[in-house]
Structure 1
Amino acid sequence: MPDEIHERVGVPVLVCDPAGPTVATEQDALDLIGAAFLGAQVVAVPANRLDDRFFSLGTRFAGDVMQKFVNYRVRLAVIGDISAQLENSSALRALVHESNQAGHIWFVPDLDALDDRLRGAA
């Protein structure tokens, strides 16, 4: 399935294909943001599409990607199980916790959990 915009609980979401290309550069993130400008308010990226550097905070890649989404006012949802990455990094656990408290970047286990977050944000 290609990346497609779907309405989820009344919110247009660019749902990214788990088999799609890896988000490995800031330009890759900007490409997703550009695709969202076709009508989506949220980009739902499967965790497996994010380069491993995203979960290694010392690389600053996660911060750079997240900042792009904030700057362009497009919400980002990282979808999937990241428990292995969280187990290895207290800094990542703190980032995920803080992000999930706010309304712009979320880490959720699946699309149903994203729907719950979207309902709560409305």
Structure 2
Amino acid sequence: MKIEKIMTDEANIAVVSSEERIIVDTNSALDLIMTVQYETGADRIVIDKDAVSEEFFILSTGIAGEILQKFMNYRIKAAIFGDYSKYTSKPLKDFIYESNHGKDFFFVATREEAVDRLKKKL
């Protein structure tokens, strides 16, 4: 896992990338949150979609809700970037739409867009 720290006037952001899945369940999400906070002090995290388990995107598993709740509990704002075009589930599309209209968790196409979303004062 690689963690890059981006400091701006508005925010302290950590960008996380990995060649292996690092978010597979709630415990691994919590481990990521704690590692990022310890290593960078960031309260905003950009995550490469490839580092997230595919089960996260199957809403019926409940994993996405549990993981988002961990982020909310620890007051972490996050954006996952990647290609979502292969997903055809209407509930998932609705979930992504609603998340993107909130202020805490976003699903975007590019790393730059993720950083920009988290830079904004929310």
TM-score with structure 1 setting the length: 0.87
Name the counterpart of 1:98. Answer: 98
SS at 2:17 equivalent: coil
Q: Which has the higher contact order (CA 8 A, sep 6+)?
A: 2
Q: Please identify runs of 4+ aligned residues in structure 1 that moved more than 4 A.
A: none
TM-score with structure 2 setting the length: 0.87
**1:21-36 mapped onto 2 (5 Å cutoff):** 21-36=21-36
Gaps of 5+ in 2: none
Name the counterpart of 1:89. Answer: 89
Identity of aligned residues (%): 30
Q: RMSD between aligned alpha carbons? A: 1.8
The Cα of 1:23 is off from its aligned counterpart by: 1.1
> Are the equivalent residues in 1 in contact too, given 2:10–2:121 (CA < 8 A)?
no
Deviations 1:56-88 (A, max 9, x none): 000000111011001110011111111112xx2
The one of 45, 48, 52 equivalent to 2:47 is 45
Name the counterpart of 1:117. Answer: 117
The Cα of 1:3 is off from its aligned counterpart by: 1.8
